[in-house]
Amino acid sequence: VAIKHLDLQYQGCKEVLREILVMREFKNANIVNFLESYLVNEAVLLVLEYMDGGSLTDVVIKKRMALGHMATVCQECLFSSSADFGVCALLSPEQSRRRSMVGTTWWMAPKVVRTQPYGPKVDTWSLGIVGIEMATGEAPYFGETKDRARYLIGTQGAPDLHTLGLPSGLCDFLGCCLQMDVDRRGSAEELLQVQCKAAAGPTAL
């Protein structure tokens, strides 16, 4: 097993409780399996399934990509499962939109940085940013301050993908993720179709 240590002096009780509830409630092959939790002094210990594949950062580095450094979010994506749900939110038919600005600045969707009501497709945007991070070594605007990054995300969105030198199939996939217009942004089902088409294309051979 793996044990995740959450210090209640530095992390809010509400966020820790939410992470426990989400990991306990949802079971999926792509989510680390939650086993148990314990309160020890001023800390919560989460007992989780041990994932020996490392993080996406580890995998990219092993592929010998010429990267100076990798940023933080890929380190929270394990090779086969997601592991961090500290800033997640549960949506319901009664509350299908949120407006709180939570998350790591450079991976936030435009509506999040503008504190406008948003739904599940903000995660589609963040997936696209993780894709850019994996391909180039860092998220867009990572060299900017948080305030400047929020401004650029909220007004310009993601950079032109064709300037990044990425394969056309990957550009198609990321382009579906990173549409400023939420109605044009791909759903999870649509992204799977784009992924299948890219995998079937000649660039995958």
> What's the pLDDT tens digit per position in 33-56?
889 999 998 888 889 888 777 766
Q: The domain that contains 23 carries what CATH number?
A: 3.30.200.20
Query: Residues 32, 92: one domain?
Result: no
| Higher-pLDDT residue of 96, 27 | 27
Query: Residues 39, 65: one domain?
Result: no
Q: Residue 26: which of 95, 108, 82 has the closest Cα?
A: 82
Mean pLDDT (the chain, rounded): 77
Query: Residues 189, 156: one domain?
Result: yes
| Higher-pLDDT residue of 42, 179 | 179
Read off the pLDDT band of 175 (50, 70, 90): very high
Structure confidence at residue 184 (pLDDT): 95
Contact 134, 150 (CB under 8 A): no
Query: Residues 44, 91: one domain?
Result: no
Query: Residues 131, 107: one domain?
Result: yes
Query: Residues 63, 38: one domain?
Result: no
Contact 67, 137 (CB under 8 A): yes
Q: The domain that contains 77 carries what CATH number?
A: 1.10.510.10
Kindly report the pTM of this predicted structure: 0.65
Query: Residues 181, 98: one domain?
Result: yes
Instruction: Phi first, then psi: give them for residue 83, nearest 5 degrees.
Output: -125, -10
Query: Residues 23, 110: one domain?
Result: no
By three-state DSSP, how is residue 50 classified?
coil
- The total of structural domains in the chain comes to 2
Range of the structural domain that residue 21 is part of = 2-48
pLDDT tens per residue across span 108-156: 999 999 989 888 899 899 999 989 988 888 899 999 999 999 999 999 9
Instruction: Phi first, then psi: give them for residue 125, nearest 5 degrees.
Output: -60, -50
